[in-house]
Amino acid sequence: MAAFRGGDAPFCLGEAMDKDTNELMTLGTMAEEMSGAEMVIRALKDQGVTHIFGYPGGAVLPIYDALFQSEGIVHVLVRHEQGAVHAAEGYARSTGKPGVVLVTSGPGATNAVTGIADALMDSIPLVVLTGQVATHLIGNDAFQECDTVGITRPCTKHNWLVKDVNDLARVLHEAFQIASTGRPGPVVVDIPKDVQFRQGRYVGPASVRHRTYRPKTEPDLAGIVKALDMMERAKKPLLYTGGGIVNAGPEASRLLRELAALTGFPVTSTLMGLGAFPASSPQWLGLCGMHGTYEANKAMHDCDLMVCLGARFDDRVTGAVDKFSPGSKKIHLDIDPSQINKNIRVDLPIIADAAKALKEMVHFWKSQRRKRALLGDWWAEIEGWRAKDSLAFRNCDTLIKPQHAVDRLFALTRGRDVYVTTEVGQHQMWAAQRFRFEEPNRWMTSGGLGTMGYGLPAALGVQIAHPDALVIDIAGEASVQMTMQEMSTAVQYGLPVKIFILNNRYMGMVRQWQQLLHGGRYSHSYSEALPDFVKLADAFGCVGLRAETPAELDAKIVEMIEVPRPVLFDCRVDPDENCYPMIPSGAAHDQMILSDAEDTAPVSEAGKILV
């Protein structure tokens, strides 16, 4: 399967085999007898898994025992199951491989739910293994029982409760296949404790073929050619790219660059797609949507052809749907057919894996000797918008402006192998706007669910996968406290992540909305008490640094980068800064607020009810 990059085990080799042939043909050997717990470990190995993130408990003790007795899989012990899932997300997003989580029943499973929902919204491949009470106790309100498959059904791509040990190996292999192919997503395999103890038959990945699951990955070539016809004729085209390009693998990003070079089209991206197209390219317009750049959003509004590649017309991108890009024809490439016409009606859908579709687009553009449209007027218009310099801010020499801090962080990390995660809030948007990515898989953020507390554990997962890289969580002081305990994990495993906290003492994004929408009534968005992050770092056994003035900022950032240990960096920034540009809820792309001077623009009553 195309998008599967989680190991070297091939799927779908043959037709479903009956039990007898299956037994003979499994990986060319006889099927092996082992316990359910041993099967879990064996299946992980056969799937190429090298790292798992987890937390033990009564209902997974047999699996932890099997893990103890085996070699080749590194288990990272977190401090809260939510952290395990976000770490697995960071691991997955930065490698393209599925992340694996192991947690116990009941509270272990419910603690994991936030991360699972997060992964579903952002299409992150995860295999989450949960322990369950013994089969004869299910439904009895047993100790640490919860209906894990019931709770996770709406927030997984698929899930299973495995009641028969002889189904376990097959289900585990199907779980990896479903998580990592098609539109990736999280899956949960719930394994009762008695099933973990019971002996059964292990089958390898090669003999597993799912009965119904067949994602369509190959594009329809007529659609590709039609798309190129539209692209060749367009006068004001735009490539609107998203996380689907990142999920389709590095080849998709390479092909996107080639397509952009061939066509000369301007490129914008969603939050999830950053890095698929290099920010250094003159064709790059920056982030689009609610906090996107003026030029990106104006281009979205005024274009005559929007080529959406692996994005989903999310409400953060479209703003008011009835005013969204009113004059354009729209092409939508997506691997998930349910995304077509969901929010915005499109003129030409292409259902395919982004890398495969882009490959055909590039191929036919060349082989059919397509001509680059004359886009001079369009580019002149775009340059006019770009000249507004919508990300500009008024710097200050007494207070650190958060934008300045991100700019300095970016500048001082050049020449290094950098991965960035974020929490959720203003700092996330400043990072997205200002930290310029050149490659995919370098930017890990919670887009769809907007989960505060994502960035710190995600950074651990990234660092596990890339031990020598510089991994930075651009954080907010409120968000980071939600999963702060994972600093202890960072110390235990010697993961030198840099938690760069833009500390404005406010839930800044909440404060900004209260300022714009609720008459400046700052209801419960200020943290009257905050920990001393430097002392906290000390308590965790990592390094604490603080910068309070612009003058000391650079030296402190350099110190943070150079110390080979985990760092909590308390960067005290201007508490009143707002994040612009901003398209207020319910407004159209040509109604952006660019600065505080304009923030009197009233938000409509209809807009207020939107999030």
Partner 1 sequence: MQKPVERHTIAVLVDNEAGVLARVVGLFSGRGYNIESLTVAEVDHAAHTSRVTIVTSGTPEVIEQIEAQLRRLVPVHRVVNWTLEKPGIERELALVKVAGTGEKRVEALRIADTFRARPIDTTHTSFVFEITGSPAKIDNFVDLMRPLGLADVSRTGVAAISRGPEAM
Ligand X SMILES: Cc1ncc(C[n+]2csc(CCOP(=O)(O)OP(=O)(O)O)c2C)c(N)n1
Compute the distance between CA of residue 285 and CA of residue 400 in angstroms, rounded to an integer. Answer: 27
The pattern of x and - marking residues 475 through 494 that bind Mg ion according to CB under 5 A reads -xxx----------------
- C-alpha count within 13 angstroms, C-beta hemisphere, residue 602: 3
CA–CA gap between residue 525 and residue 510 (Å, rounded): 6
Site residue total, Mg ion (CB under 5 A): 5
Find the shortest distance in angstroms from Cβ 452 to partner 1: 23
Q: Closer to ligand X at the Cβ: 171 or 502?
A: 502
59 or 475: CB nearest ligand X: 475
Q: Is the peptide bond before 581 cis (omega within 30 degrees of 0)?
A: yes
Question: Containing H/E element for 168?
Answer: helix 165-180
Nearest-angstrom CA–CA distance, 439 and 462: 15
Give min distance, CB of 99 to ligand X, in A.
20
* Piece of the chain touching partner 1 by CB under 8 A; list 85-93, 210-218, 287-295, 506-514: 210-218
Strands annotated E in 485-604: 498-503, 543-547, 567-572
Cα torsion angle, 418, 506, 117, 123, sign? negative
Total binding residues toward ligand X, as defined by CB under 6 A: 19
User: Which member of 90, 131, 185, 508 binds Mg ion (CB under 5 A)?
Assistant: 508
Q: Give min distance, CB of 284 to partner 1, in A.
A: 32
131 binds Mg ion (CB under 5 A): no
Residue from 79, 330, 427, 434 touching ligand X (CB under 6 A): that is 427
Please choose which of ligand X, partner 1, Mg ion, none residue 140 contacts, taking the beta carbon within 5 to 8 angstroms, the exact cut-off set by kind. Answer: none
> Catalytic one among 38, 39, 81, 176?
81
Give yes or no for residue 211 binding partner 1 (CB under 8 A): yes
Nearer to partner 1, 188 or 502 (CB): 188
Q: Tell me how far apart the alpha carbons of residues 189 and 262 are, in angstroms, rounded to a whole number.
A: 45
The rounded distance, in Å, linking the Cα atoms of 3 and 541 is 40
Output the smallest distance, CB 525 to Mg ion, in A.
Answer: 9
Question: What's the burial of 430, exposed, middle or buried (CB within 10 Å: 0-12/13-18/19+)?
Answer: buried
Is the Cβ–Cβ distance between 499 and 566 less than 8 Å? yes
Beta strands in 43-198 (DSSP E): 51-54, 74-77, 99-103, 126-132, 158-161, 186-192
Beta strand segments in 310-375, E? 329-334, 348-351
* Window 342-371: residues binding partner 1 (CB under 8 A): 342, 345
Quick one: which of 113, 117, 161, 188 contacts partner 1 (CB under 8 A)?
Answer: 161
Asked if 322 touches partner 1 (CB under 8 A), the answer is: yes
Binding site partner of 564, from Mg ion, ligand X, partner 1, none, Cβ cut-off 5-8 A by kind: none
The strand ranges marked E within 244-370 are 267-269, 284-287, 305-309, 329-334, 348-351
Catalytic one among 1, 144, 323, 559? 144
Q: Tell me how far apart the terminal alpha carbons of the chain are, to the nearest angstrom.
A: 38
**Does 158 participate in binding partner 1 (rule CB under 8 A)?**
yes
Q: Of the candidates 351, 424, 458, 587, which one interacts with ligand X according to CB under 6 A? A: 424
Across 416-556, the runs of DSSP E, i.e. the strands, are 418-422, 443-444, 470-476, 498-503, 543-547
341 binds partner 1 (CB under 8 A): yes
Residue 215 Cβ vs partner 1, minimum distance, rounded to whole Å? 10
CB of 186 to partner 1, least distance (A): 13
**Binders in 447-466 for ligand X, by CB under 6 A:** 450-452
Which residues in the 95-154 window bind partner 1 by CB under 8 A? 149-150, 153-154
Tell me if 252 contacts ligand X by CB under 6 A.
Answer: no
Q: Is 509 a catalytic residue?
A: yes
Buried b / exposed e across 498-511, counting CB within 10 Å, b at 16+? bbbbbbbbbbbbbb
Residue 507 is a binding residue for ligand X (CB under 6 A)? yes
Q: Write down the least CB distance from residue 526 to ligand X, Å.
A: 10
Tokens representing residue 544 in the block: 């604490």
Contact between 504 and Mg ion by CB under 5 A: the answer reads: yes
Query: Do 479 and 425 touch, CB atoms closer than 8 A?
Result: yes
φ, ψ of residue 73 to 5 degrees: the values are: -120, 125
Tell whether residue 476 is a contact of ligand X (CB under 6 A): yes
Q: What residues act catalytically?
A: 81, 143-144, 193, 509
| Footprint on this chain of Mg ion (rule: CB under 5 A) | 476-478, 504, 508
| Footprint on this chain of ligand X (rule: CB under 6 A) | 423-427, 450-452, 476-479, 502, 504, 506-510
